[in-house]
């Protein structure tokens, strides 16, 4: 009889543990959806705003197969990334502003908050108008499942320097370099910051809209900083 009671208690504990694990898994993925529409509808309900349609220019990123859609507090982003370096960049949509965004996902580990701190300082330096200096607009960040999701404006993920290189006119080259130097001049002479990782992938562009943005401030430091991260190596091999 005692053995029977013991087994019954064990089975009850085992069943409770399994149920708790299942609940934990469901909580873990409660912000992940199979379709963009379901994710966007759920977010719009939370935000108490009407659902918004994505413009056709950006639908190609939503219509890709074999992906899920992750809900943050103010946007939905696709699990497939369009760019990858030290971190992955994903297409996102903000239903309130009805604008696309870029979500940069980085590991949330000790000492990995330098970029967010630098971006917050840059936004204050520029009076929340970084585009006037060809610096990417930063909207803040959220932590999700051991990763930090940095939110940015997006220029156009289909454009890349490598793809455009064969089609660039002399005028395009002059424009590209002028706008890059404008960004660096603001960083160096206005704010005393050095980027330390200048390369084509970090100066995104769209010639059609005449939009240019310097991105990736993970290695950026104040030029007056003579300790800490400033002493660490930075840059990308081949561009140093």
Q: What DSSP character marks residue 53? A: P
Question: What are the helix and strand counts (H, E) for the chain?
Answer: 6, 11
Phi, psi angle pair for 213, to nearest 5°? -140, 130
Would residue 140 be called left, alpha or beta, if left means φ above 0 and alpha means ψ between -120 and 50 degrees? left
Contact 89, 83 (CB under 8 A): yes
157 Cβ contact list (under 8 Å, min separation 6): 61, 82, 83, 89, 91, 102
* Average pLDDT taken over every residue of the chain: 85
Q: pLDDT digit string (tens) for 66-119?
A: 899 999 999 999 999 998 888 999 999 999 999 999 999 998 876 678 899 999
pTM score, whole prediction: 0.83
Q: What DSSP character marks residue 200? A: G
Q: What confidence category does residue 162 fall into, taking pLDDT thresholds of 50, 70 and 90? A: confident
Burial (CB count <10 Å: 0-12, 13-18, 19+), residue 234: middle
CA–CA dist 61, 80 (Å, integer): 8
Q: pLDDT digit string (tens) for 34-67?
A: 999 999 999 999 999 998 888 777 887 888 888 9
pLDDT at 22: 47
């Amino acid at each position: 009889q005692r053995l029977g009671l013991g087994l019954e208690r064990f089975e009850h504990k085992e069943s409770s543990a399994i149920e708790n694990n299942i609940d934990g898994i469901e909580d873990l993925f409660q912000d992940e959806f199979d379709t963009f529409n379901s994710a966007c509808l759920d977010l719009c309900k939370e935000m108490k705003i009407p659902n918004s349609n994505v413009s056709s220019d950006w639908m190609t990123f939503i219509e890709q197969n074999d992906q899920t859609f992750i809900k943050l507090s103010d946007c939905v982003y696709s699990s497939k990334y369009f760019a990858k370096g030290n971190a992955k960049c994903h297409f996102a949509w903000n239903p309130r502003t009805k604008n696309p965004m870029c979500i940069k996902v980085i590991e949330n580990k000790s000492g990995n908050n330098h970029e967010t701190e630098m971006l917050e300082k840059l936004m204050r330096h520029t009076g929340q108008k970084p585009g006037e200096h060809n610096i990417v607009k930063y909207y803040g960040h959220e932590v999700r499942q051991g990763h930090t999701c940095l939110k940015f404006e997006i220029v156009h993920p289909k454009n890349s320097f490598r793809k455009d290189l064969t089609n660039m006119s002399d005028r395009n080259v002059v424009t590209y370099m002028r706008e890059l130097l404008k960004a660096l001049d603001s960083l160096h002479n206005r704010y005393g910051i050095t980027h330390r990782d200048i390369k084509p992938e970090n100066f995104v562009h769209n010639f059609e809209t005449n939009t240019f943005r310097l991105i990736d401030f993970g290695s950026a430091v104040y030029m007056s900083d003579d300790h800490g991260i400033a002493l660490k190596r930075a840059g990308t091999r081949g561009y140093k």
